[in-house]
Amino acid sequence: MKIKELWIYPVKSLAGNAVSSAILATRGFEDDRRWMLIDENGRFIAQRQHAHLARWQARTEADDLVLEHLDNGQQLRISAARADEGPLVEVEVWDDRLSACLVESVSPEELHEALGISCRLVYMSEDSNRPLDPRYAQGEERVSFADGYPYLVANQASLEALAAEVGEELTMQRFRPNIVVEGPPAFAEDNWQSLQIGEETFRLPKPCARCVVITIDPETTVKNPRVFATLAEMHSQEKKVIFGMNACWEGKDEAVLQVGGSVSVRVG
């Protein structure tokens, strides 16, 4: 059993970056979901309402953030995007409200011209505090702008089983994982309590409940409702459609994961 893929998503709801290695941090991979688009009320903007965001990819270059359209190469470079000193604004991610730093180096007009939506860009500084759901947290665990947990682990065999039932090839990017493993059988992850990757331990507090975002083909933005409906028939728990496991890294010192790294599990 080993790591097949590693993914980082600098801006929540934009396309991810496949990387060969990634630096671990308590609230997620370094630079993972540390930026977010918000509407006029401070609420996060997602592919649920704007599927075309799946074709925009973000990457970091030193302190700059570069947004690039994957089809036509259009770019928007945002300087000084690590806006630790930016004015604080209240933002909302699901049921969580917290303060984030407004990135003033890009205007709402520039974002609208590029992305086609009215929005602002915010950054989660080290001082921002978004605690993990207390029902599943241990100690003072924090999370980025991700939906709920620092890491998401997915099993390649589970994707292949779903694709076989749907009757078409599916990309793992529908499910926006951070760590993709290969080797175990489909849905074996249901019984995992923790992962050991090299010297690093990941606690798996709960399965990941899915929403309609998984119906969006990240390469075309076309929605296929059969993906969600089929997964609901195959793999539901307590009336929730499940794919992947939420994870928390239990380390503290700087560490790196590599594609190809060996993975072992503790089963509950």
Q: What percent of the chain has pLDDT over 70?
A: 100
Look at 140 and 149; give whichever has higher pLDDT. Answer: 149
Q: What is the C-alpha separation between 73 and 59, in angstroms, rounded?
A: 13
Q: Alpha carbon of 151 to those of 34, 147, 171: distances in Å?
A: 13, 10, 19
What integer pLDDT is reported at residue 252 of this predicted model? Answer: 86
Burial class (CB in 10 A: 0-12, 13-18, 19+), 200: middle
pLDDT digits (tens, 9 = 90+) for 52-89: 999 999 999 999 999 999 999 999 999 999 999 999 99
Q: Does residue 99 carry a pLDDT above 80?
A: yes
Query: What's the pTM?
Result: 0.96
Residue from 66, 58, 49 nearest 221 by CA: 49
Q: What is the C-alpha separation between 163 and 4, in angstroms, rounded?
A: 18
Q: Does residue 98 carry a pLDDT above 90?
A: yes
The structural domains of the chain, ordered by start, are: 2-8+134-267 (2.40.33.20), 31-123 (no CATH)
What integer pLDDT is reported at residue 154 of this predicted model? Answer: 98
pLDDT band at 148 (very low <50, low <70, confident <90, very high): very high
pLDDT digits (tens, 9 = 90+) for 252-266: 888 999 999 999 999
